[in-house]
Protein backbone atom coordinates (compact mmCIF):
# COMPACT_ATOMS: atom_id res chain seq x y z
CA UNK A 1 0.00 0.00 0.00
CA UNK A 2 1.18 3.50 -0.67
CA UNK A 3 -0.42 6.21 1.43
CA UNK A 4 -2.33 9.08 -0.07
CA UNK A 5 -0.70 12.40 0.73
CA UNK A 6 -2.67 15.05 2.61
CA UNK A 7 -1.36 18.22 1.02
CA UNK A 8 -1.49 20.91 3.70
CA UNK A 9 -0.48 23.66 1.28
CA UNK A 10 -3.43 23.02 -1.02
CA UNK A 11 -5.94 22.57 1.81
CA UNK A 12 -4.67 25.67 3.66
CA UNK A 13 -5.14 27.69 0.49
CA UNK A 14 -8.73 26.42 0.18
CA UNK A 15 -9.43 27.23 3.83
CA UNK A 16 -8.04 30.77 3.56
CA UNK A 17 -9.68 31.50 0.19
CA UNK A 18 -13.00 30.53 1.77
CA UNK A 19 -12.45 33.36 4.27
CA UNK A 20 -12.58 36.05 1.56
CA UNK A 21 -16.38 36.32 1.31
CA UNK A 22 -16.66 36.37 5.10
CA UNK A 23 -14.09 39.17 5.27
CA UNK A 24 -15.98 41.07 2.58
CA UNK A 25 -19.17 40.92 4.67
CA UNK A 26 -17.57 42.77 7.59
CA UNK A 27 -17.87 46.52 8.04
CA UNK A 28 -14.11 46.75 8.64
CA UNK A 29 -11.28 44.32 7.86
CA UNK A 30 -10.36 41.85 10.61
CA UNK A 31 -7.22 42.90 12.47
CA UNK A 32 -4.43 40.58 13.61
CA UNK A 33 -1.60 41.76 15.87
CA UNK A 34 1.47 39.54 16.10
CA UNK A 35 3.95 40.34 18.84
CA UNK A 36 7.52 39.10 18.51
CA UNK A 37 9.89 39.61 21.41
CA UNK A 38 13.58 39.05 20.74
CA UNK A 39 15.39 37.91 17.62
CA UNK A 40 14.85 34.14 17.43
CA UNK A 41 15.26 33.51 13.67
CA UNK A 42 12.72 30.65 13.49
CA UNK A 43 10.09 32.78 15.26
CA UNK A 44 10.75 35.64 12.87
CA UNK A 45 10.03 33.32 9.91
CA UNK A 46 6.78 32.06 11.48
CA UNK A 47 5.63 35.60 12.20
CA UNK A 48 6.42 36.75 8.66
CA UNK A 49 4.44 33.87 7.18
CA UNK A 50 1.44 34.56 9.41
CA UNK A 51 1.27 38.28 8.72
CA UNK A 52 1.97 37.92 4.99
CA UNK A 53 -1.02 35.68 4.36
CA UNK A 54 -3.23 37.92 6.52
CA UNK A 55 -2.21 40.86 4.32
CA UNK A 56 -2.95 38.94 1.12
CA UNK A 57 -6.49 38.38 2.37
CA UNK A 58 -7.00 42.07 3.02
CA UNK A 59 -6.80 41.81 6.77
CA UNK A 60 -5.18 44.47 8.92
CA UNK A 61 -1.93 42.96 10.11
CA UNK A 62 0.22 44.62 12.65
CA UNK A 63 3.59 43.11 13.50
CA UNK A 64 5.14 44.47 16.65
CA UNK A 65 8.76 43.53 17.23
CA UNK A 66 10.26 44.25 20.64
CA UNK A 67 13.85 43.79 21.85
CA UNK A 68 14.72 40.73 23.96
CA UNK A 69 15.40 43.12 26.84
CA UNK A 70 11.72 44.20 26.99
CA UNK A 71 10.38 44.15 30.55
CA UNK A 72 7.35 42.10 31.44
CA UNK A 73 5.54 45.26 32.53
CA UNK A 74 6.06 46.81 29.08
CA UNK A 75 4.89 43.64 27.32
CA UNK A 76 1.79 43.45 29.51
CA UNK A 77 1.07 47.12 28.80
CA UNK A 78 1.27 46.39 25.07
CA UNK A 79 -1.17 43.48 25.46
CA UNK A 80 -3.53 45.77 27.41
CA UNK A 81 -3.37 48.35 24.61
CA UNK A 82 -4.11 45.72 21.96
CA UNK A 83 -6.99 44.35 24.07
CA UNK A 84 -8.50 47.85 24.04
CA UNK A 85 -7.84 48.48 20.33
CA UNK A 86 -11.07 48.19 18.32
CA UNK A 87 -9.17 47.63 15.05
CA UNK A 88 -7.57 44.47 16.45
CA UNK A 89 -9.59 41.24 16.68
CA UNK A 90 -6.78 38.77 17.25
CA UNK A 91 -3.61 38.97 19.34
CA UNK A 92 -0.81 36.46 19.05
CA UNK A 93 2.33 36.58 21.17
CA UNK A 94 4.90 34.42 19.42
CA UNK A 95 6.50 31.78 21.63
CA UNK A 96 9.06 31.12 22.97
CA UNK A 97 9.50 34.33 24.93
CA UNK A 98 13.02 35.33 26.01
CA UNK A 99 14.14 34.19 29.47
CA UNK A 100 12.81 36.41 32.23
CA UNK A 101 9.35 36.87 30.71
CA UNK A 102 6.61 34.73 32.24
CA UNK A 103 4.79 33.14 29.30
CA UNK A 104 1.70 32.26 31.34
CA UNK A 105 1.32 35.76 32.78
CA UNK A 106 1.60 37.27 29.31
CA UNK A 107 -0.78 34.84 27.57
CA UNK A 108 -3.31 35.07 30.43
CA UNK A 109 -3.44 38.83 29.89
CA UNK A 110 -4.79 38.51 26.33
CA UNK A 111 -8.55 39.07 26.27
CA UNK A 112 -10.05 35.56 25.74
CA UNK A 113 -12.17 36.83 22.81
CA UNK A 114 -8.97 38.03 21.04
CA UNK A 115 -6.91 34.94 21.94
CA UNK A 116 -6.64 33.60 18.39
CA UNK A 117 -3.95 31.11 19.44
CA UNK A 118 -6.52 29.56 21.78
CA UNK A 119 -4.03 29.22 24.64
CA UNK A 120 -5.94 31.21 27.29
CA UNK A 121 -7.17 29.01 30.18
CA UNK A 122 -10.71 30.29 29.57
CA UNK A 123 -10.59 28.99 25.99
CA UNK A 124 -8.88 25.77 27.12
CA UNK A 125 -11.64 25.15 29.66
CA UNK A 126 -14.40 25.90 27.18
CA UNK A 127 -12.82 23.55 24.63
CA UNK A 128 -12.93 20.67 27.12
CA UNK A 129 -16.54 21.51 27.96
CA UNK A 130 -17.46 21.55 24.25
CA UNK A 131 -18.51 25.19 24.49
CA UNK A 132 -17.77 27.67 21.69
CA UNK A 133 -14.15 28.77 22.08
CA UNK A 134 -11.10 29.89 20.16
CA UNK A 135 -9.34 26.59 19.48
CA UNK A 136 -5.54 26.22 19.21
CA UNK A 137 -4.58 26.51 15.55
CA UNK A 138 -2.38 23.46 15.05
CA UNK A 139 -4.86 20.88 16.42
CA UNK A 140 -7.71 22.68 14.64
CA UNK A 141 -5.73 22.34 11.42
CA UNK A 142 -5.25 18.64 12.08
CA UNK A 143 -9.02 18.19 12.44
CA UNK A 144 -9.50 19.91 9.08
CA UNK A 145 -6.94 17.60 7.48
CA UNK A 146 -8.71 14.57 8.96
CA UNK A 147 -12.03 15.86 7.64
CA UNK A 148 -10.57 16.09 4.14
CA UNK A 149 -9.80 12.36 4.11
CA UNK A 150 -13.53 11.66 4.19
CA UNK A 151 -12.85 8.82 6.64
CA UNK A 152 -15.52 8.45 9.36
CA UNK A 153 -13.87 9.10 12.72
CA UNK A 154 -16.68 8.02 15.02
CA UNK A 155 -15.52 5.25 17.34
CA UNK A 156 -12.07 4.81 15.81
CA UNK A 157 -8.94 4.46 17.93
CA UNK A 158 -6.75 7.56 17.84
CA UNK A 159 -3.43 8.22 19.50
CA UNK A 160 -1.80 11.56 20.17
CA UNK A 161 1.90 11.34 20.92
CA UNK A 162 2.97 14.40 22.94
CA UNK A 163 1.03 16.17 25.71
CA UNK A 164 1.88 19.86 25.36
CA UNK A 165 -0.74 22.46 26.23
CA UNK A 166 -0.56 23.92 22.74
CA UNK A 167 -0.77 20.79 20.60
CA UNK A 168 -1.15 17.41 22.30
CA UNK A 169 -3.77 18.13 24.95
CA UNK A 170 -6.15 20.24 22.83
CA UNK A 171 -5.72 17.61 20.08
CA UNK A 172 -7.09 15.01 22.49
CA UNK A 173 -10.10 17.24 23.25
CA UNK A 174 -10.83 17.73 19.54
CA UNK A 175 -10.51 14.03 18.69
CA UNK A 176 -12.81 13.20 21.59
CA UNK A 177 -15.31 15.66 20.07
CA UNK A 178 -15.08 13.62 16.87
CA UNK A 179 -16.08 10.57 18.96
CA UNK A 180 -12.67 8.93 18.64
CA UNK A 181 -11.42 6.75 21.46
CA UNK A 182 -8.24 8.62 22.29
CA UNK A 183 -4.95 7.55 23.83
CA UNK A 184 -2.52 10.24 24.94
CA UNK A 185 1.09 9.04 24.85
CA UNK A 186 4.15 10.87 26.18
CA UNK A 187 7.74 10.30 27.21
CA UNK A 188 6.71 7.95 30.06
CA UNK A 189 4.51 5.74 27.88
CA UNK A 190 5.73 2.15 28.28
CA UNK A 191 4.92 0.61 24.93
CA UNK A 192 4.68 3.39 22.38
CA UNK A 193 5.12 1.01 19.43
CA UNK A 194 2.21 -1.15 20.62
CA UNK A 195 -0.03 1.83 21.31
CA UNK A 196 0.67 3.39 17.90
CA UNK A 197 0.12 0.02 16.23
CA UNK A 198 -3.47 -0.16 17.55
CA UNK A 199 -4.42 3.30 16.29
CA UNK A 200 -6.50 4.13 13.22
CA UNK A 201 -5.43 7.77 13.57
CA UNK A 202 -1.94 8.75 14.68
CA UNK A 203 -1.06 12.37 15.53
CA UNK A 204 2.62 12.80 16.33
CA UNK A 205 3.51 16.03 18.16
CA UNK A 206 6.76 15.26 19.89
CA UNK A 207 9.69 17.16 18.45
CA UNK A 208 11.94 14.11 18.00
CA UNK A 209 13.00 13.38 14.44
CA UNK A 210 11.42 10.14 13.16
CA UNK A 211 10.52 8.86 16.62
CA UNK A 212 7.44 7.09 15.22
CA UNK A 213 8.64 4.23 13.05
CA UNK A 214 6.94 3.30 9.82
CA UNK A 215 6.80 -0.34 10.90
CA UNK A 216 4.57 0.60 13.89
CA UNK A 217 1.78 2.00 11.75
CA UNK A 218 -1.44 0.00 11.48
CA UNK A 219 -2.15 -0.73 7.81
CA UNK A 220 -4.52 1.91 6.42
CA UNK A 221 -4.13 4.32 9.36
CA UNK A 222 -4.23 8.10 8.97
CA UNK A 223 -0.89 9.56 10.05
CA UNK A 224 -0.63 13.26 10.88
CA UNK A 225 2.88 14.52 11.57
CA UNK A 226 3.00 17.77 13.53
CA UNK A 227 6.73 17.60 14.26
CA UNK A 228 9.12 20.14 12.83
CA UNK A 229 12.65 19.00 13.45
CA UNK A 230 15.98 19.81 11.90
CA UNK A 231 17.56 16.92 10.04
CA UNK A 232 21.34 16.47 10.14
CA UNK A 233 21.45 17.98 6.61
CA UNK A 234 19.65 21.10 7.90
CA UNK A 235 16.36 20.30 6.16
CA UNK A 236 13.03 20.02 7.98
CA UNK A 237 11.86 16.57 9.10
CA UNK A 238 8.87 15.23 11.00
CA UNK A 239 8.29 13.03 14.02
CA UNK A 240 7.31 10.11 11.75
CA UNK A 241 9.62 7.99 9.63
CA UNK A 242 7.92 9.16 6.44
CA UNK A 243 9.14 6.75 3.73
CA UNK A 244 8.41 3.49 5.61
CA UNK A 245 5.18 4.93 7.03
CA UNK A 246 3.85 5.63 3.53
CA UNK A 247 4.14 1.88 2.84
CA UNK A 248 1.56 1.13 5.56
CA UNK A 249 -0.58 4.22 6.12
CA UNK A 250 -3.77 5.01 4.21
CA UNK A 251 -3.17 8.77 4.45
CA UNK A 252 -0.16 10.76 5.60
CA UNK A 253 0.99 14.36 5.89
CA UNK A 254 4.42 15.38 4.63
CA UNK A 255 6.84 17.60 6.55
CA UNK A 256 7.13 20.31 5.39
CA UNK A 257 3.83 21.01 3.60
CA UNK A 258 1.43 19.20 5.90
CA UNK A 259 0.36 20.60 9.25
CA UNK A 260 2.49 23.77 9.13
CA UNK A 261 0.44 25.65 6.49
CA UNK A 262 -2.78 24.54 8.23
CA UNK A 263 -1.69 26.21 11.47
CA UNK A 264 -1.51 29.56 9.70
CA UNK A 265 -4.82 28.98 7.92
CA UNK A 266 -6.60 28.24 11.20
CA UNK A 267 -5.05 31.29 12.84
CA UNK A 268 -6.56 33.45 10.12
CA UNK A 269 -9.89 31.61 10.40
CA UNK A 270 -9.85 32.24 14.15
CA UNK A 271 -9.19 35.93 13.54
CA UNK A 272 -12.05 36.24 11.06
CA UNK A 273 -14.33 34.44 13.52
CA UNK A 274 -13.29 36.81 16.30
CA UNK A 275 -13.98 39.81 14.02
CA UNK A 276 -17.42 38.44 13.16
CA UNK A 277 -18.28 38.04 16.84
CA UNK A 278 -16.92 41.53 17.64
CA UNK A 279 -19.13 43.02 14.91
CA UNK A 280 -22.34 41.56 16.38
P1 LIG B 1 6.72 20.04 23.56
O2 LIG B 1 8.21 19.92 23.66
O3 LIG B 1 6.01 21.05 24.38
O4 LIG B 1 6.08 18.61 23.92
C5 LIG B 1 6.62 17.44 23.42
C6 LIG B 1 5.86 16.25 23.95
O7 LIG B 1 6.46 15.09 23.40
C8 LIG B 1 5.91 16.11 25.47
O9 LIG B 1 4.63 15.84 25.97
C10 LIG B 1 6.83 14.94 25.69
O11 LIG B 1 6.51 14.12 26.79
C12 LIG B 1 6.66 14.13 24.44
N13 LIG B 1 7.82 13.31 24.16
C14 LIG B 1 9.12 13.68 24.15
N15 LIG B 1 9.91 12.62 23.89
C16 LIG B 1 9.09 11.56 23.74
C17 LIG B 1 9.30 10.20 23.47
N18 LIG B 1 10.52 9.71 23.30
N19 LIG B 1 8.24 9.39 23.39
C20 LIG B 1 6.98 9.87 23.55
N21 LIG B 1 6.72 11.18 23.81
C22 LIG B 1 7.76 12.00 23.91
O23 LIG B 1 6.42 20.18 22.02
P24 LIG B 1 5.21 20.87 21.20
O25 LIG B 1 3.94 20.16 21.47
O26 LIG B 1 5.26 22.34 21.36
O27 LIG B 1 5.68 20.55 19.72
C28 LIG B 1 5.85 19.23 19.25
C29 LIG B 1 6.42 19.26 17.86
O30 LIG B 1 5.48 19.90 17.00
C31 LIG B 1 7.72 20.05 17.70
O32 LIG B 1 8.50 19.45 16.69
C33 LIG B 1 7.25 21.41 17.22
O34 LIG B 1 8.23 22.09 16.47
C35 LIG B 1 6.09 21.01 16.34
N36 LIG B 1 5.07 22.02 16.16
C37 LIG B 1 4.63 22.24 14.90
C38 LIG B 1 3.65 23.15 14.64
C39 LIG B 1 3.19 23.30 13.24
O40 LIG B 1 2.51 24.27 12.94
N41 LIG B 1 3.49 22.37 12.35
C42 LIG B 1 3.07 23.97 15.71
C43 LIG B 1 3.53 23.62 17.03
C44 LIG B 1 4.51 22.68 17.23
P45 LIG B 1 6.60 14.62 28.34
O46 LIG B 1 5.43 15.50 28.54
O47 LIG B 1 6.53 13.36 29.11
O48 LIG B 1 7.91 15.34 28.48
Q: Does pLDDT of 144 surpass 90? A: yes
Q: 26-29: list long-range contacts, CB under 8 Å, 24+ apart.
A: 26/275, 26/276, 26/279, 27/279, 28/87, 28/279, 29/58, 29/59, 29/60, 29/275
pLDDT for res 106: 98
The residues pairing with 170 across neighbouring beta strands, listed in sequence order, are none
Residue 72 sits in a domain whose CATH number is: 3.40.50.10860
Is 143 in the same domain as 234?
yes
Residues with CB under 6 A from ligand 1: 138, 161-164, 166-168, 185-189, 192, 205-208, 211, 226-229, 259-260, 263
Ligand 1 atom showing the smallest separation from residue 258 Cα = 41
pLDDT for res 236: 96
Ligand 1 atom showing the smallest separation from residue 211 Cα = 18
Is 155 in the same domain as 66?
no
Q: Catalytic residue at 117?
A: yes
Q: Catalytic residue at 50?
A: yes
pLDDT for res 224: 99
Q: Total structural domains in the chain?
A: 2
Task: Judge whether 12 lies within some domain.
Answer: no
Ligand 1 atom showing the smallest separation from residue 168 Cα = 25
Task: Judge whether 215 lies within some domain.
Answer: yes
Residues 6+ apart with CB under 8 A from 187: none
Is 99 in the same domain as 192?
no
Strands 157-161 and 181-185: parallel
Q: Catalytic residue at 94?
A: yes
DSSP 8-state symbol, 151: -
Q: What pLDDT band is residue 95 in, cutting at 50, 70 and 90?
A: very high
Task: Judge whether 273 lies within some domain.
Answer: no
- The 10s digit of each residue's pLDDT in 208-254 is 999 999 999 999 999 999 999 999 999 999 999 999 999 999 999 99
Question: Are 182 and 175 contacting, i.e. CB atoms less than 8 angstroms apart?
Answer: yes
Is 150 in the same domain as 254?
yes
**Residue to mutate, 12, 143, 170, 226, ligand 1, most ligand atoms under 8 Å from C-beta:** 226
pLDDT for res 1: 67
Residue tagged active-site, from 89, 115, 117, 225: 117
Q: Give one DSSP letter per residue of 28-85, joined into a string.
A: S--EEEEEEES--HHHHHHHHHHHHHHHHTT-EEEEEEE-TT--HHHHHHHHHHHHT-
**Residue to mutate, 46, 145, 187, ligand 1, most ligand atoms under 8 Å from C-beta:** 187
Q: Does pLDDT of 67 surpass 80? A: yes
Maximum C-alpha span of the chain = 56
Is 140 in the same domain as 242?
yes
Q: Quote helix, strand, coil % in the chain, to nearest 5.
A: 45, 15, 40
Provide the mean pLDDT of the chain.
97
pLDDT for res 191: 98
**First vs last C-alpha separation in the chain:** 50
Print the domain residue range for 244. 136-260
pLDDT for res 22: 98
Q: SS3 of 228, please? A: coil
Q: What pLDDT band is residue 182 in, cutting at 50, 70 and 90?
A: very high
Is 69 in the same domain as 176?
no
- The 10s digit of each residue's pLDDT in 12-29 is 999 999 999 999 999 999
Burial zone of 260 (CB within 10 Å; 0-12 exposed, 13-18 middle, 19+ buried): buried
Task: Judge whether 4 lies within some domain.
Answer: no
Amino acid sequence: MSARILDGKVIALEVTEALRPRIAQLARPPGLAVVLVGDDPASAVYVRNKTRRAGELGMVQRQITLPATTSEADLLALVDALNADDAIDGILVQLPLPAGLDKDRVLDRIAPEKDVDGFHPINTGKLWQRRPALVPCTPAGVVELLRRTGVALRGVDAIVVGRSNIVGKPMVALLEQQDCTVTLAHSRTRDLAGAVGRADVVVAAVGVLELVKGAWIKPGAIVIDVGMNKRPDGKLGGDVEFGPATERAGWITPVPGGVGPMTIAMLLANTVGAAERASR
